[in-house]
Chain A
Amino acid sequence: MSHSLALDIAGITISLTADLDLPIDAEGAARKFVRDGGGVDDRPEVRIRAVWGEPVEPPAADLLFDPGKGLWRLYRLGRRRRFIFTAPLLGPLPYQAATFNEDFTEGEVEIRREIFGRRLPVYPLQYPLDELLMVHLLSHGRGVEVHGSGIVSSDGAGTLFAGQSGAGKTTMAKLWLADPDVTILSDERVVLRQEGDDIWMYGTPWHGDGRIANQGRARLRRVFFLRHAGQNQLAPVSATGSIARLFACGFAPFHDRGGLDYTLGFLEQVVKRCACNELGFLPDQSAVDFVRGN
């Protein structure tokens, strides 16, 4: 079993290493995002070490953010940040904790042996830590993660179908499965990043009901804000409206003023560079033809 692993998610290389008595591996859709060869990259953007530990909840006075529902909480540890993860069925003690430096490029994940010790290998970045890490990394000048299905047409142009739960992201993604010339990056979450004047859309491991999660990226050309409708129709959305809708579909660190400022500024760049419209659609092949024709 391996004690090192490197992931490539949205162009960000994450190196994972662990003690000899802690075998690690990717799991689920994250396996598709393991770097070729699987080994640790020489110069990863992010370095994380996994260790066995007995993580405890820091003092309440250090709590920075609690999303509710008891799944995770974020604490300040001086300039560092510490995520605590609990699950109701595992009792009150954290099953995992992760401590990162200020820009989230170096971290340590403590894993409770009594819970994971008989279920080896362990994926140290199991959800939601992997996605929390990505959201915080992106908010430090790298991009934004958005609720949306992403497709790439044969000419390499990317189209984002953004929407909150129930808007039709997976439904729309599945409609494109029949087209062999189209690549579907995700049916649930994509990452947007800027390179020069271009916005790039990346696939992520965080799929929806359609379980579509693929490596790859494309220049983003169009954004459709999805809604179910009785007929296929487009409606223009103002620039400010588009920024607001993308923000509502995005992930931002609400406890971090700098991260929020960056996120809004980035979304403004997306809207400046991509055509944004609302798409009311029927859940059948006519929607694909309609999008192609517009």
Chain B
Amino acid sequence: MTPDEPPDPGPGRKPYEKPTLSEVALRPEEAVLGNCKTMGVAGPAEGDCTALGGCMTFGS
């Protein structure tokens, strides 16, 4: 066995796997209801979007 080789895990044990790091992107503006997909704002001020009558496309 060379120094770079992992040791034999022995019978019935899973071989060693080197830990890996993976990154999952979090989009803050989508996760906190901070935007409207269509207009960039929400609420009754929107022109043809909510206009005191309901949001038509919610922020993703």
Contact = CB atoms under 8 A, between A and B. Distances in A.
Given A90-B43, A126-B54, A208-B58, A164 B30 contact: yes
Contact of A127 (B29, B40, B45, B55): B55
A67 B42 contact: no
B24 A244 contact: yes
Contact of A87 (B24, B31, B32, B43): B43
Interface string B16-59: 00000010111111111111110011111110001011111110
Contacts of B36: 127
Contacts of B34: 67-69, 71-72
B54 A28 contact: yes
B53 A28 contact: yes
B53 A27 contact: yes
A123 to B, nearest CB: 7
A285 B58 CA distance: 26
What size tier do the contact residues of chain A reach?
Answer: 35 or more
A254 B54 contact: no
Contacts of A68: 28-29, 34
B54 A115 contact: no
Nearest to B33: A128
Nearest to B32: A67
A147 interface: yes
A141 B24 CA distance: 25
A188 B58 CA distance: 8
A126 B44 contact: yes
B11 to A, nearest CB: 25
A85 B22 contact: no
A254 B33 CA distance: 12
Interface of A: 27-30, 65, 67-69, 71-72, 85-90, 95-96, 115-116, 119, 123, 126-128, 131-132, 135, 147, 164-166, 188-189, 206-209, 211, 241, 244-245, 247-248, 250-252, 254
In order of increasing CB-CB distance, the 9 nearest A-B pairs are A28-B54, A165-B60, A89-B45, A87-B45, A67-B34, A27-B54, A67-B32, A87-B43, A127-B55
23 contacts: A28-B54, A29-B54, A69-B29, A72-B34, A86-B43, A88-B45, A95-B45, A96-B43, A116-B44, A116-B52, A123-B54, A126-B50, A135-B33, A147-B30, A147-B60, A165-B60, A166-B60, A188-B58, A207-B57, A207-B58, A247-B26, A248-B26, A250-B31
